[in-house]
Structure 1
Amino acid sequence: MNAIGTDSTSQKRSLLSISKLQAFLIHLTGSALVVGTLCAVIFFVWYPAPYFAAKGASGVLLVLIGVDLILGPTLTLILFRPRKPGLVFDLSVILTIQLAALVYGTTTLYQERPYYLVFAVDRLEILAYKDVDSSMIEYEELRRKPFIGPILAVASLPEGQDEFQRLLEETAFEGKPDIERRPEFWSPYANRSDDVIARARSLAELLERYPETRTEIS
């Protein structure tokens, strides 16, 4: 009990010994280190370019930055007074809010990170791990995600007429997803790269077909 009381007293004395500005700067520096480290993981490991923009993940990250890097330190600057009654409680509430935002943002961004990049017929789909039933994956190499970036796969239509007809019925009438979200139709990119290259189009061709995207691309 004496040790606990001594620790509590020393914490209060430490708070009494710093100014409002010092408290703000300490809080801001700590928050910046945490958010900066998380951003490095997000941009270089979970969402390497161009996946962050493609997945539209900026909204969640902006909320996290707004709460942890701006709101938290600002509330400390406003509320901190060395001899204010209940100061420890106020700071605890601020840190709890920041921690909640950090956990929410980190969890959401991790769960939504690009796990699979699937080419299907004439399009690319960026999928999270939760978007597909991984138990249906047939190739072992499609189960091993690289440390940086997603697993590359190619989804192919069934070759037999009966199988193709069955696929159409499943997607049209049974509500099942299309082939890009069904791993039983996937092959490793290395096995089908020629198919992807054969269907690739130059930027000039794409701009001619979709002139409305010229401004966005430039």
Structure 2
Amino acid sequence: MSRLKAASWHLALTAGALAVVFVVARTLWYPRPLFAADGGWQAYGLLAGASLVLGPLLTLIVFRAGKKGLRLDLTLIAIAQVVAFVFGVHLLYTRRIQMVVYSQGAFHALDAAHIALIGAKGQALLRTLPARPAYVYVKLPRSKKALLGVEIRTLQGEPPVFLRGWRYRPYTAAERKQVLTHGYPFLALARTNRVAAAAIARFRKHHRRLVHYVFVPLRGTYTSVMLVLDRSDGRVADVLAFNPGFGQPPT
């Protein structure tokens, strides 16, 4: 077998394994729209890069038919690649999003590290919700005075509002209706922001009139994106690669 053929076979096997992991990660561990916003691409990129370098590339470098010690070289390459592959898959799995919290005009994606911060009541609610990631809603007081108190307690050292698990409620149809009445003023922002305007232009090519949709930020660990929710049922119609930043929506 030639060097190029050996590397090609190794590349095909590696690509097949990476494709299986990609499908599992996109459908089970980081279902839409979480893959782009919360580290799925970053972790998968590390996995793919390490697997390709420690596998097909090293095979291409060391393989020579009849070479003394070739079997040992290929065995060491295989061991290194398997170790890197297992570590990469483990990283993807442990970094998966377990809960998505709606709070103060935005969704927040929480992984295991965040779940450790939401308190016993939030963790207990998570255990009762069968879906993963579980969607919850932060119940805030109605009066402006009480709401101001919530913000003041943040300044006094309490966790951010979206991590206060004792305020969590299941994300039901009633909460979904509330979300659809408090969208982000993305269209107004697009008039002065070129990136937002470009995202809207691409969206318009494939969807109905913009009046049928509500824009809500999704804030992840690594980046943020803009979710486009169908006004009729609250489902995610699209994900815009626009980072709305942090803080309150512009008015």
Matches of 2:7 and 2:89 in 1, distance apart? 24
**Contact 1:141 1:188 survives alignment (8 Å):** no
Partner of 1:12: none
TM-score (norm 1): 0.74
Whole-Å separation in 2 of the counterparts to 1:59 and 1:136: 32
Q: For this pair of structures, how many residues does the alignment match?
A: 198
Larger Cα-atom Rg: 1
1:200 aligns with 2:180: no
| C-alpha deviation, 1:79, in angstroms | 0.5
In 2, distance between residues paired with 1:96 and 1:215? 46
After superposition, the Cα gap between the structure-2 partners of 1:143 and 1:105, relative to the gap in structure 1 and judged at 3 Å, is: farther
Q: Percent identity?
A: 27
Q: Hey, what does 1:180 align to over in structure 2? A: 162
Q: 1 CA distance for matches of 2:122 and 2:192?
A: 35
1:45-104 CA-to-partner distances (Å, cap 9, x unmatched) read 222232111124322222211221354112112211232222222112222322232123
Give the whole-Å Cα distance in 1 for the aligned partners of 2:191 and 2:16.
46
Cα separation, 1, equivalents of 2:194 and 2:138: 28
For residue 199 of structure 1, give the secondary structure of its aligned residue in structure 2: coil
Q: Which has the higher helix share?
A: 1
CA distance in 2, matches of 1:170, 1:33: 51
2:99 and 2:134 in contact (8 A); partners too: yes
Q: Relative to structure 1, is the Cα distance of residues 203 and 28 closer, same or farther in structure 2, using a 3 angstrom cutoff?
A: same
2:107 aligned counterpart, secondary structure: strand
- Per-residue CA shift, 1:147-172, capped at 9, x if unaligned? 6xx21111122468997677445422
> Alignment partner for residue 49 of structure 1, among 18, 24, 32?
32
Aligned-residue RMSD, C-alpha: 3.0
Q: Which moved more, 1:151-160 or 1:118-127?
A: 151-160
What CA distance in whole angstroms lies between the structure 2 residues aligned with 1:53 and 1:141?
Answer: 23
Query: C-alpha distance in 1, partners of 2:3/2:195?
Result: 53
Q: Where do 1:27-38 residues align within 5 Å?
A: 27-38=10-21
Point out where structure 2 has 5 or more consecutive residues left out of the alignment. 203-251
